[in-house]
Amino acid sequence: MSTTTSDIDLKSKIAKAFEAHPDHQNADRKNALAGFLKMGLPTNKSEEYRFTPVARLLEKNFDFDKVSPAESNLTSIDSFLIPGLEANVLVFVNGRYSKSLSTVVSSAKEIQITPLSASDAKTLTTSTDSFVLLNSALWHDGLSIRVPANTNVELPVFILHVSDASSNQSVNHTRLQVTVENDSSLTLIERSASIGENPIFHTFVEEIKIAEKASLDYIKIQNDEGKLHQVATSLIRQADNSILNTFTLTLSGTLIRNNFNIAVDGENCESHFYGLYLLNGNTIADNHTVVDHLKPNSHSNELYKGVMDEYAKGVFNGKIFVRPHAQLTNAFQSNRNILMTDTATINTKPQLEIWADDVKCSHGCTTGQLDEEALFYLQSRGIPMGEAKAMLLYAFAMETLAPIKNETIKNYLDTLISKRLNRLDATK
Amino acid sequence: MAKDNQVLEEITSKEYEHGWSVDLEADESPKGLTEDTVRFISKKKQEPEWLLEWRLKAFRHWLKLEEPKWPNVHYPQINYQDIIYYSAPKKKVAPNSLDEVDPELIKTFEKLGISLTEQKRLSGIAVDAVIDSVSVATTFKDTLSKLGVIFCSFSEAVREHPELIKKYLGSVVPMTDNYFAALNSAVFSDGSFCYIPKGVRCPMELSTYFRINAANTGQFERTLIVAEEGSYVSYLEGCTAPMRDENQLHAAVVELYAMKDAEIKYSTVQNWYPGDKEGKGGIYNFVTKRGLCAGDHSKISWTQVETGSAITWKYPSCVLKGDYSMGEFYSVAVTNNYQQADTGTKMIHIGKNTRSRIVSKGISAGKSQNSYRGQVQVMKRATNARNFSQCDSLLMGDQCGAHTFPYIDVENSSARIEHEATTSKIGEDQIFYCLQRGIDEEAAVALIVNGYAKEVLNQLPMEFAVEAQKLLALTLEGSVG
């Protein structure tokens, strides 16, 4: 087993891995690496990663200098798909885009999918986040998805990251660029899955642009049972009159960190962010969201709910910025948590920073447990304790599914959640 | 109406009421901070060896620390070698009665509206006044001592009750706690000490009045309050400083220690000089305040009205160690012009069935920045902890900022934690309603702000509540229209 390495050791290993990268002569990649080496992995002294022991877990579990095997015996991805959902499926296996496993149904008129080139990383090389820099330096493969103007893409785009860790540990970095042009709409689903028992480290960076009057529905499903350590960063920019709906479901994984940075850079925008984390075992799930209102007259609404069981740890940090001149902004945020055991933890920090006076902003945050009277009521009607708990938790969780319009996806998520909640009560 | 206008004019032309300084002959230490400065202060105060050792230990630790950078405030680097760490009004050899106090000093306090003699006797408040660095007079000592209440200056307590000081000094805020607490532990010059014996309900409000008078000085005082089993005390603190162009540093430490069934109520009206309209000058108020609910069923309540200071950096906190103990924090923080405030509280739930309540009202105007930063922490063994937090911000004008940084860390499944925050401005309809009733805009704002802050102001003792209301109106004057 690998032992804990020092920060310097880790940096030199990553520098070595960079040398082995086929595109290591690229200047943008070099800049990003230099930035990363200067910063290192964030420790608990860093405000953004204060409650998430990411550096410790990575140092303990990964040999960064060993390049992960690009080869995989994966032949079928059926078990990772949403049953009954017709979609454009784009598959990455160990960070490489697999054309043979992917299927694009929609016509090229509706949706243009092209490989990303290294120069597309440019804007991110000056990021202040270590993992974005690491990804910018080391990403193997990426895609650009563009929806032309005045197009309503009927079939969702399903992005599947499969990490094959059956023979060795898997370290991979992928990225994505999504542009939804004027008056167009798209549904995007993203899911991480794994095979094998070895640890997996995956960084994922995506840049999303939503142009005027366009809309995007974005659903993230994180229920992989493997030893997944994932840091996903989504940088989203909204133009005038655009609409964004996101839903993030986190059920398992070793360490899942989601960064959602939304720049509301237009007037009359609507943004809805919903999230649900139902955690058990030793899972650590960390959701960081930033909603940055740069222009007046927009509306944002955020609701994240969590249930922490066993030894799980939930972290939530929601930032709302309302910049000067972003008058008449309405921004709401709510974070609700239930702790099932005394060994579970929740660290939450809802943060408001307002520089404009004519705004309506509020946030609320609660931590509690199931209502004893409600439980008693159900029991008095002959419902056993475990079932009663599952029922109440189910009601608690379902509110976050509200923004999902596609019935097939909604039903699938509903099944995932119910399955988890029923298992949860079976352990009691 | 004409009379009203006159009154208003009077108010609006007022800048900072307490901006005068008095030429008191002062006994000062040389500028700068070295081990010798610490020794100098200790020697001046004729302190015992153990206290000097304690100070030196704190000083050596301070050298190892770095100034905290995380607060949401900005100021030029402080040169700690350019500060006079000890300044005492001369001519003072422990006055036994008020007749012996320097007449200049008495005048100073009369200007402040604190007469050390008659006035307070009528209102029944015992006052300990601290000018620059030393406590100059304490009133009502005899009445209090009959009940066994000790209320005196810190240096006097070191001389007369060394066993108590030795036991409780640094027990709530250890000298290693943070940068400014360590600095204070090394160079603190005086302060107040208060001890309430078992079962005694202190019959009057106790009060400390702080004033920085001399130029170039920093004020570093310490307040220590110990409430024995079943006792009760209500304590008030007020502060003013002269108007000066340079920034002055105030780094105080306040420690509260509540035993079983004891209750301490600590109220502050902070009105240090905030700097002028361009943001020049003003006090840097970097204060560490913490209360320990050591015994079961104990209660500590902080109430603060923060209107002054160029920069405020303070988090009056409660460590709820005893079972069924309770912590409260009520705050109104007003910033105008270029003031910056980063204030809030910490509620650490350790004991079982502990409860805490946070009500914070921030008001920002002009070009100021106002932050609430708070933490509610529930430890693993703190079953049935209960917390309710509410932090509201009111913005006046589009050049100021309001920020909220609440941390909620829970490790126990039976905890019930609620936090809510809102940000808004004074409604145009509210102002319109007042105008319609013949209340002009300035008065309307004062009225609405007072209503907004009422929940906190109600917690203040009577005399302070009146002062606080006036202060609110004064701080916000000229911020409308």
Out of A51, A344, A351, closest to residue B405 by CB: A351
Which residues neighbour B343 within 8 Å (Cβ) at sequence distance 6 or greater? Answer: B304, B306, B312, B313, B314, B315, B331, B333, B371, B372, B373
Nearest of A358, A283, A357, A276 to residue A316 by alpha carbon? A276
**Chain B residues contacting A via beta carbons under 8 Å:** 70, 378, 380, 393, 395-425
Work out the minimum CA distance from B59 to partner chain A, whole angstroms: 25
Label residue B386 by pLDDT band (50, 70, 90).
very high
Q: Compute the 3-state secondary structure of chain A and give helix, strand, coil in percent, each to the nearest 5.
A: 25, 40, 35
At residue B276, the pLDDT reads 79
Give me the pLDDT at residue A216, please. Answer: 96
- For position B358, what pLDDT does the model report? 94
What is the per-residue pLDDT for B13? 40
Size of interface A-B (CB pairs under 8 A): 117
Chain A residues 369-408 with CB within 8 Å of chain B? 369
The residues that bridge with B418 in the sheet, in sequence order, are A366, B388
Q: Which residues on B lie below 8 Å from A353 (Cβ)?
A: 401-404
A402/chain B closest Cα distance in angstroms: 23
Q: Return d(Cα A385, Cα A406) in angstroms, integer.
A: 33
At residue B423's C-alpha, the angle toward residues B421 and B427, to 5°, is 135
Which of B402, B406, B408 lies at the smallest CB-CB distance from A354?
B402
Residues in chain B closer than 8 A to A355 (CB atoms):
398, 400-401
Ranges A125-129, B194-198, B210-214, B370-374: which has the least confidence: B210-214
Instruction: Inform me whether the pLDDT recorded for B12 exceeds 50.
Output: no
Q: In angstroms, how far is CA B386 from the centroid of its own chain?
A: 26
d(CA B288, CA B311): 14
Neighbours of A407 (CB within 10 A): 10
Whole-angstrom distance, CA of residue A271 vs CA of residue A289? 12
* Exposure letters A250-274 (e unless 16+ CB within 10 A, then b): bbbbbbbbbbbbbbbbbeebbbbbb
Residue whose token pair is 């704002």: B445
**CB-nearest partner of B403 from A345, A352, A368:** A352
CB contact under 8 Å between B419 and A359, yes or no, is no
For residues A253 and A278, is the Cβ–Cβ distance under 8 A? no
**Nearest Cα residue in chain B from A353:** B403
Cβ atoms of B340 and B372 within 8 Å: the answer is: no
CA–chain centroid gap for B304, Å, is 7
Query: Whole-angstrom distance between the N-terminal and C-terminal Cα of chain B?
Result: 21
Interatomic CA distance for residues B195 and A272, integer angstroms: 55
Give the C-alpha separation, A281 to A268, whole Å.
42
Task: Please say whether the dihedral angle defined by the alpha carbons of residues A387, A392, A395 and A396, taken in this order, is positive or negative.
Answer: negative
Least confident range from B91-100, B171-180, B332-341, B442-451: namely: B91-100
Interface test with B, best of A355, A358, A373, A393 (most B CBs within 10 A): A355
Strands B87-89 and B26-28: antiparallel
B89 pLDDT band, cuts 50/70/90, is low
pLDDT at residue B19, as a whole number: 58
Chain A residues inside the 8 Å CB shell of B397:
357
Contact A101, A93 (CB under 8 A): yes
- Whether ipTM tops 0.85, in short, is no
- Local confidence pLDDT in tens for the 428 residues of chain A: 333 445 677 788 888 888 888 888 888 888 889 989 888 888 888 888 888 888 888 888 888 776 555 677 788 888 899 999 999 999 999 888 999 999 999 998 999 999 987 666 666 767 788 999 999 888 888 999 999 999 999 999 999 999 888 888 888 899 999 999 999 999 999 999 888 888 999 999 999 999 999 999 999 999 888 899 999 999 999 999 999 999 999 999 999 999 999 999 999 999 999 999 999 999 999 999 999 999 999 999 999 999 999 999 999 999 999 998 899 999 999 999 999 999 999 999 999 899 888 888 888 899 999 888 999 999 999 999 888 999 999 999 999 998 898 999 999 999 999 988 887 554 44
Q: Are B230 and B202 in contact (CB under 8 A)?
A: no
Helical (H) or strand (E) element with A235: strand A228-238
> What is chain B's percent helix, strand, coil content, to nearest 5?
25, 35, 40
Are the CB atoms for A86 and A155 separated by under 8 Å?
Answer: yes
